[in-house]
Structure 1
Amino acid sequence: MGEKAVRCRFPKTSLKAVNLVSVEKAAGILKDAIDDDVEYLLVQFRSKPYHRFEDFDNVWNELHFSLVHFVCVKRSFRATFMDAFYSSVLDFLRSPSPIFKSGTIFALYFLYISQPAIWGKNRIRVSTETWNLLFNFYVESIKNDTNIEAALIFDKLRKLGAFVFVENEKINRYLLQESMEFARAIKMLDELHEVRVQRIKNEAIDLCINSGLSSIERTAEDYQRAKKETFCTPQATIATQRHLKETLNVTENRTRLLQNVLLNSTLANDETETMKRIRGLHQQMWNSKRKKLEDEKKEL
């Protein structure tokens, strides 16, 4: 983890200069590097076959993600450093995917509790809008009995006092003179951040799979159940008996054998199998995205 989060002392452009998150008096790391590491963490979690708390715990430890804290060891710079990570994670709360929302809460929890005690805990800055997103996901999870672990972790963060309500989530990193001198670069960064949020909201892989698929899946399951119930009715037995007589000139009166003929025909094919194959392809696409991010890190 953190391969991209390297220190930068002499940014080459004004855009990179304003994109620096200070970690000491004369050095910083690019916010893009933090965004990339956070995305890598959450995509690793998303690409797993299961998305429980223990699965996120495994990913966190596999990537040694808690080592990010030692990129910034100066107490006076810890607040802006942690805020950069928190805000990057919270961007994924805008995703329509409940898996990413769960991952967001898990990531906030691990970032918060893994802070070394010697520096104290920097709390998670949330606006009213962000809090509503978090709390609504919590309520929906409890109400629908889904993503329960994420809901419980959110509740634990609340009890730990991990959140602080603010008007503006991001700490202003610029002095007045810098804000004036680099106004264009700062505006460009804001626009690039909005592009990132929109990409998270409209993740191409999930758009391919989520458009009506759940509804189709439920229909397929209902149809499969209806078929199984129909195969055991007297009408189905009579229809099979007539079919055998007309096509093979075979007379069969034993109900058990007639039902077996029907159950072994193409009519008995599992209607949910297609959905399972689509889900499998969806998982493969996430694995490919994870592999692509891994390859990009190796190239650095």
Structure 2
Amino acid sequence: MATPIRCRFPKTSLKAANLVAIEKGAGILKNAIDDDVEYLLVQFRSKQNHGFEDFDNVWNELHFSLVHFACVKRSFRAGFMDAFYSSVLGFIRSPSPTFKSGAIFALHFLYISQPAIWGKRRIRVSTVFVRTETWDLLFNFYVESIKNDTNIEAALIFDKLRKLGAFVFVENEKVNRYLVQESVEFARAINMLDELHQVRVQRIKNEAIDLCMNSRLSSIEQTADEYQRLKKETFYTPQATIATQRHLKETLNVTENRSRLLQNVLLNSTLANDETETMKRMRGLHQQMWNSKRRKLEEQSNKE
């Protein structure tokens, strides 16, 4: 996890407008929070498995719960937690089920790990009546996961958060944290930050690595698995044995009547090649790309 960049005297209006206050006269740059959240989710995404336990391991490996102690002033906790929640909710817009699951796990851990002495800050979500409709994205993912029996752990954690009353419905998720004078003084910087936020959301929606493994490839993978299964069943049928027997007689002039040996000939031929091997190689390359991205983020974090 990167060390948050603490600012008391920002040098530019852009940095001043981008501060999340943690105490009077001091703040943390919002992009530092975004970087930490992205690193957490990419670390999770680069794992071989993507269940709740895997996220729990990543969370503990990064000691991510310590982020709460970057802001120990009760009066500044609301804005601080909103900044983290907002950053995580951006990944709900990803087409990747893994990122969506990771985002739900992150919301859960951020919510329950809040120190009891300060109380729980609930997660602000908008509904279908407004443009961002975050709640609908969350709930639709939950319904699809239950219906298709996929990402079940993420669905259960979302349901747990609902029952805990962790969400609060709002018309606008973004809190206006600027005073009137600041809004005028930093108008240009605020507009620029809004544009940069939209760029970030678009990048999440169009993650280049996940575009290499889109839903069509999952469908192809299912077809390859089914084809491989049916092919194996075919190899052990009497018709396959007879066909192999005739093939040996016609090509090698060999007469063989033992079905076990004829089956072995068929199973050792090119017809028995694993039809799923190509997809496995592609999955491996996909995993390598995520590992590479994680390492780059680590290097960037170390430099900072």
Question: What is the aligned length?
Answer: 299
CA shift, 1:262, in A, is 0.5
Q: What is the distance in 1 between the residues matched to 2:84 and 2:232? A: 52
Q: What is the distance in 2 between the residues matched to 1:276 and 1:32? A: 36
Question: Does structure 2 conserve the Cα–Cα contact (< 8 Å) formed by 1:86 and 1:108?
Answer: yes
Which position in structure 1 is the counterpart of 2:39? 40
Question: Does structure 2 conserve the Cα–Cα contact (< 8 Å) formed by 1:47 and 1:286?
Answer: yes
Which position in structure 2 is the counterpart of 1:108? 107
Gaps of 5+ in 1: none
Which position in structure 2 is the counterpart of 1:75? 74
Render the CA deviation track for 1:50-107: whole Å, top value 9, x for unaligned: 1111111111111010111111111111110100000000000000111111111110
Q: Percent identity?
A: 86
Question: Does structure 2 conserve the Cα–Cα contact (< 8 Å) formed by 1:2 and 1:65?
Answer: no
Q: What is the distance in 2 between the residues matched to 1:234 and 1:8? A: 77
CA shift, 1:2, in A, is 3.9
CA shift, 1:168, in A, is 0.9
Q: What is the distance in 1 between the residues matched to 2:80 and 2:248? A: 75
Gaps of 5+ in 2: 128-132
User: What does 1:1-300 correspond to in 2, within 5 Å?
Assistant: 1-3=1-3, 5-128=4-127, 129-210=133-214, 212-300=216-304
CA shift, 1:211, in A, is 5.3
Question: Does structure 2 conserve the Cα–Cα contact (< 8 Å) formed by 1:2 and 1:68?
Answer: no
CA shift, 1:26, in A, is 0.7
Tell me the C-alpha RMSD between the 2 structures: 1.1
Q: Secondary structure at the match of 2:240?
A: helix
Q: What is the distance in 1 between the residues matched to 2:275 and 2:285? A: 17
Question: Does structure 1 conserve the Cα–Cα contact (< 8 Å) formed by 2:145 and 2:151?
Answer: yes
Letter of the 1:192 partner, please give it.
Answer: L
Q: What is the distance in 1 between the residues matched to 2:215 and 2:148? A: 21
Letter of the 1:76 partner, please give it.
Answer: S
CA shift, 1:226, in A, is 2.3
CA shift, 1:230, in A, is 2.0
Name the TM-score, length of structure 1 as normaliser.
0.97
